[in-house]
Amino acid sequence: MPDPIEVRKVAIESVTDASGLAKLIDDGVIEADRVLAVIGKTEGNGGVNDYTRILADRAFREVLVSKGTRTEDEVKQVPLVWSGGTDGVLSPHATIFATVDPATAVQTDEPRVSVGVAMSEVILPEDIGRPAMVEKVARGVREAMKIAGIDDPADVHYVQTKTPLLTLATITDAKERGHTVVTEDTLKSMDISNSTTALGIAVALGEIEMPAAEQIHKDLSLYSSVASCSSGVELDQAQIVVVGNVRGIGGHYRAGHSVMKDALDADGIWEAIRDAGIELPERPHPSDLGDKLVNVFMKCEADPSGRVRGRRNIMLDDSDVHWHRQIKATVGGVAAAVTGDPAIFVSVAAVHQGPSGGGPVIAIADLS
């Protein structure tokens, strides 16, 4: 049986601020050596050259090294998944997952959060957007499930990944080795890396069969309802964090999920919160949450039809502000209105992650 899990959210008050993590360790809430993963939002542009992700990564890893006994190389293996871009009211923050001593955890037979982390095989630039990447991610997800002690895919509520995207350097590397790449548009490669990863998650969980090459990033009927995929320049493997519920593990956190059917689907967010075990009235209000909701994690996508609930919008036609930033701000506003807290995880480029024009929603609740 894996160890029980502590989940805490901390604010990031400047681009290199990791004081929230340091305080949790200093206060004895978690131990540096027991941190399994960090999932956070940084304040950059969310694009290929968003170096706020690298700055946050460095700051948090420095805390783990200085306050624990793991070596720098060992800490490098801890998945720190940073999604850039806090458009609109979204606030930079990090959610920290750490194991705790089973002897100190609340004992219960109710489903409680378990976490498994794994790194995939190296994803080559020529793998991105192709079946080889789907297969590599699927193998990594299955390994993370084993580590979490999850046998039934139905008990998986959240799979957060970080994968490589294409840069000029990696495109050149592939060409020099005699390979082609799926695109030479580095920003587009971010979307394609995310969508290919999502299909790998869906395959691992039995949500879909192995897709054909021509279905990747094209067949929008294929998706995972629990995948949240980000990509960046800072790694060449898939960092995989599987979050699910296991009976008998102990602790007081529970995960749940649902989907937003479109960018305005607040009910989808409330459904995820209910699925995490928080009892709510028929017409809930943020005040009904108290301090029970740790965080929500969601992906979003501009509807390829260019419409939301029958009304036309110009996100996909706007040459001034990329649609990534517009839809992230929109869904972030809807979600913050539900939770009453703008420090929530909203990430863009959601092809194959939830239904087209919508996206998955994951909630983690503190049921203590």
> Residue 266, SS3?
helix
Q: Which of 121, 47, 129 is nearest to 87 (CA)?
A: 47
Q: Decide: 87 and 141 in contact? Cβ < 8 Å.
A: no
Half-sphere exposure of 179 (CA within 13 A, CB side): 15
Instruction: Using the structure block, give the residue that is written with the tokens 């991105």.
Output: 128
Q: How far is CA 309 from the centre of its chain?
A: 27
Q: Decide: 148 and 242 in contact? Cβ < 8 Å.
A: yes
d(CA 175, CA 327): 34
d(CA 56, CA 245): 29
Q: What is the CA radius of gyration of the chain?
A: 19
Per DSSP, 107 falls in state: P
Catalytic annotation present for 162 = yes
Per DSSP, 4 falls in state: P
Per-position DSSP letters for 5-33, written without gaps between them: EEEEEEE--STT--HHHHHHHHTTSS-GG
Strand pairing of 111-122 and 156-164?
unpaired
Q: Binding site residues for Mg(2+), as ranges?
A: 301, 350, 353-355, 358
d(CA 146, CA 131): 23
Q: Residue 166 is encoded by which pair of tokens? A: 């294409």
**Catalytic-role residue among 9, 136, 162, 299:** 162
Q: Binding site residues for substrate, as ranges?
A: 53, 83-84, 194, 230-231, 328, 347-348
Q: Binding site residues, as ranges?
A: 53, 83-84, 194, 230-231, 301, 328, 347-348, 350, 353-355, 358
d(CA 13, CA 296): 20
**Catalytic-role residue among 120, 189, 224, 230:** 230
218: amino acid identity, one letter: K
Catalytic annotation present for 224 = no
Residues assigned a catalytic role:
162, 230
